[in-house]
A and B are shown apart, each in its own frame.
Chain A
Amino acid sequence: MSENKIIYMDNNATTRVYQEVLDAMLPYFKDQYYNPSSMYSPAGAVHKEMEKARGEVADFLGCDPIEVCFVSCGSEGDNMAIRGTIEAYPTKNHIITTRVEHPAVIETCKSLERLGYRITLLDVDNDGNINIDDLKKAINDNTAIVSIMYANNETGVIFPVKEIGEIVKNAGAVFHVDAVQAAGKLPLIMKDEPYIDMLTIAGHKIHAPKGIGALYIKKGTKLRTVQTGGHQERGRRAGTENVPYIIGLGKAASMVKAELPKFIEHTSKLRDKLEEEVLKRIKEVKINGKGAKRVSNTTNISFKNIEGEAILLLLDGYGICTSSGSACSSGTLEPSPVLQAMGVPFEYAHSSTRFSLSLDNTMDEIMYTADAIEKIVARLRDISPYRD
């Protein structure tokens, strides 16, 4: 493998924008620049194309186009769902989420906690699964919304959305699902998941650019507008539509939907091989979340007694792009809250490294990466004062 080639294994951070997606977007920057809300016919044509993209996203999500609300990113979708719901239910003051959510959800809940809302953070077990009984105990008449992720960004662990959703519906609360890391990795068919009231996706995780996302809002869901102003998005989100990016999201959604079976087959084969090689070659390795159901492209591996930022930078030296749950790489001083919630011991937690694959990765890259990891771990363990 050439030393200069970049081996990109950080697709849970962001994905390559597909050429077809970029091509579809370009006319809407220059020639088709009209405001889709304007009354003249060139604007009408832009509006029509935008609605076509909404149709493509609806098709991707298995829902009706009027249930798709375009937003600027996954974080905005999560904020809108949670804040809009609690405003819509002024008499309820309780929110349930989990300890392993993305900051877009956890920090939103914490900011509401400061305003007097009560937050329940559900624990997870060593594999990253929640205990359904904890949810049953926590939920009550006061619960406005339950917000959980479909798949975890760090470990790929999939939550039992159906089981959770049924409990939430029986309790009369709103159910929001952060599916940013599930989109493009699992089929998302909203008409088959009627217990989901709202669901967030982000474009840049499915080969559209950064700066666009969508919130699925099931027909009849009570939601107050958080971003007020104009009448765009059926009055649910004010602001002139980001037309080129919406077109890009539509194109990406239809491409990713078509290639989903291939994606699952390809990435699971590569991911399983990477794990097999690492486990075979290196002692004292832990694959975080391996005991749970996971999306096919993600593996989160910890190596005892070494530190993740050092691993990440040495992998970078091999041209391999990954991410780390270590404290030192994030600028905070504590290792990943997700791994801490899973009870991963400290001698493992500091070294967690996430490899997240796409259709672009090859088996050669996997073998090259396994070789690199083997050398890096041996080298860092040689420097470490901890050894067994």
Chain B
Amino acid sequence: MWEYTDKVKDHFINPRNVGEIENPDAEAMTGSIVCGDALKLTLKINKDTEVIEDAKFQTFGCASAIASSSILTEMIKGKTLDEAKKITNKDIAMELGGLPEEKMHCSVMGMETLEKAINNYRGINVEEDEHDEGAIICKCFGVTDTKIKRAIRENNLTTVDEITFYTKAGGGCGACKVKLEDILNEELAERERAQKNAPLTTVQKIKKIEEAIETVINPMLKMDGGSCKLIDIEGNIVKISFKGACSSCMASKNTLKGFVEPKIKELVDKNLEVVGV
């Protein structure tokens, strides 16, 4: 038995906005009967303001697919297309009070159908839409690498199982799981690189500098009977004080600029400048 929230149950048992708008301004359908779920969305859009005045859905699928579709129509009514386009699958799941992990793909279906409908209204050819490019990785469910990468990035996924929960990829014969793992590892490496380049927060800087001093710098300085200590940081200025033999050593300025600063730049952040206090 799934642990559905009361809100999921409510939208499943009493779905809002069921049906089809006659002569809709925009419409889209995703999924298929083979895959086990499908959503058809029809929208009435104010041509001048681009406000979604009405939205209706039809869903073939399980309780969470029906609930995701129902809440999506509620969420987009009254929004402009630009506002609606920002809705992610996470927003849909959050609005429902959460979905079981295995069911996250239902919220993804909602997001994708909405995007497709907006593209359809704006005359963007769906085939040219970035999300439909890319190679099919999961043949059972026709999931492309671009869709998989996007799900990994937007939802911070870390395992192959999670990819399956969010995109269905790998949930059929399972033959693509090795490929999924490759894509995941690539994305995780990319995420790590991005994090490295991203500016560190002050707390992260303090932690990393102290770690560098303790594990690399001080062991070296101790050989000459000295040590150093982090006093403060201001932006990228790192204030260090020398202790022991170093504090009275005339060469300590050389130690500071020739050894401590390059080490901290190397180990923490290349933008840092180290000064003695």
Residues of A bordering B, CB below 8 Å: 305-310, 313-314, 317, 326-329, 331-335, 346-347, 350, 382-386
Residues of A within 8 A of B66 (CB): 310, 383
CB of B18 within 8 A of CB of A383, answer: yes
With a 10 A CB-CB cut-off, give which of B33, B38, B63 has the most chain A CB atoms.
Answer: B33
- In Å, the complex CA distance between A189 and B63 comes to 45
A-B contact pairs, 9 of them (CB 8 A): A306-B60, A310-B61, A317-B13, A327-B36, A328-B65, A333-B168, A333-B171, A335-B36, A385-B60
- In Å, the complex CA distance between A332 and B133 comes to 27
B37 at the interface (CB under 8 A from A): yes
Residues of A within 8 A of B62 (CB): 307-310, 326, 328-329
CB of A328 within 8 A of CB of B164, answer: no
Residues of B within 8 A of A347 (CB): 33
CB of A385 within 8 A of CB of B168, answer: no
CB of A332 within 8 A of CB of B171, answer: yes
B170's nearest neighbour on chain A, judged by CB, is: A333
**Known contacts A333-B168, A385-B39; is A350 also within 8 Å of B33 by CB?**
yes
- In Å, the complex CA distance between A332 and B141 comes to 13
Residues of A within 8 A of B103 (CB): 328
- In Å, the complex CA distance between A94 and B13 comes to 50
- In Å, the complex CA distance between A350 and B36 comes to 6
B60's nearest neighbour on chain A, judged by CB, is: A384
CB of A310 within 8 A of CB of B63, answer: yes
CB of B63 within 8 A of CB of A313, answer: yes
Residues of B within 8 A of A385 (CB): 29, 38-40, 58-60
- Least distance between A356 CB and chain B CB atoms (Å): 18
Residues of B within 8 A of A310 (CB): 12, 61-63, 66
- In Å, the complex CA distance between A328 and B37 comes to 9
- Least distance between A194 CB and chain B CB atoms (Å): 40
CB of A328 within 8 A of CB of B61, answer: yes
CB of A383 within 8 A of CB of B59, answer: yes
B59's nearest neighbour on chain A, judged by CB, is: A383
CB of B36 within 8 A of CB of A386, answer: no
With a 10 A CB-CB cut-off, give which of A313, A347, A383, A386 has the most chain B CB atoms.
Answer: A383
Residues of B bordering A, CB below 8 Å: 12-13, 15, 18, 29, 33-40, 58-66, 102-103, 140-141, 164, 168, 171-172
What are the nearest 6 A-B pairs in CB distance? A333-B171, A328-B62, A385-B58, A309-B62, A385-B40, A384-B60
B39's nearest neighbour on chain A, judged by CB, is: A385
**Known contacts A305-B60, A333-B168, A385-B58; is A313 also within 8 Å of B12 by CB?**
yes
Contacts between the two chains (Cβ within 8 Å), count: 75
Residues of A within 8 A of B33 (CB): 305, 346-347, 350, 386
- In Å, the complex CA distance between A313 and B40 comes to 22
Residues of A within 8 A of B164 (CB): 333
- In Å, the complex CA distance between A385 and B63 comes to 15
- In Å, the complex CA distance between A329 and B103 comes to 10
Residues of A within 8 A of B60 (CB): 305-307, 383-386
- Least distance between B167 CB and chain A CB atoms (Å): 10
A335's nearest neighbour on chain B, judged by CB, is: B36
**Given contacts A307-B62, A350-B36, could you give 8 more A-B pairs where the C-beta distance is less than 8 Å?**
A306-B60, A308-B62, A328-B103, A332-B171, A333-B36, A333-B168, A384-B58, A385-B40
Residues of A within 8 A of B171 (CB): 327, 332-334
CB of B15 within 8 A of CB of A383, answer: yes
- In Å, the complex CA distance between A238 and B263 comes to 64
B138's nearest neighbour on chain A, judged by CB, is: A333
- In Å, the complex CA distance between A310 and B65 comes to 9
Contact of A384 among B59, B63, B102 (CB under 8 A): B59
Residues of A within 8 A of B141 (CB): 333
**Known contacts A332-B171, A334-B172, A385-B29; is A307 also within 8 Å of B36 by CB?**
yes
CB of B140 within 8 A of CB of A334, answer: yes
Residues of B within 8 A of A333 (CB): 35-36, 140-141, 164, 168, 171-172
B102's nearest neighbour on chain A, judged by CB, is: A331
- Least distance between A370 CB and chain B CB atoms (Å): 21
Residues of A within 8 A of B29 (CB): 385
**Known contacts A309-B63, A333-B172; is A383 also within 8 Å of B36 by CB?**
no
Residues of B within 8 A of A317 (CB): 13
Residues of B within 8 A of A307 (CB): 36-37, 60-62, 65
Residues of A within 8 A of B36 (CB): 307, 326-328, 333-335, 346, 350
Residues of B within 8 A of A309 (CB): 62-63
Residues of A within 8 A of B13 (CB): 314, 317
- In Å, the complex CA distance between A310 and B64 comes to 9
Residues of A within 8 A of B34 (CB): 346
- In Å, the complex CA distance between A334 and B141 comes to 10
- Least distance between A385 CB and chain B CB atoms (Å): 4
- In Å, the complex CA distance between A384 and B33 comes to 10
- In Å, the complex CA distance between A383 and B67 comes to 11
- In Å, the complex CA distance between A327 and B61 comes to 10
- Least distance between A352 CB and chain B CB atoms (Å): 12
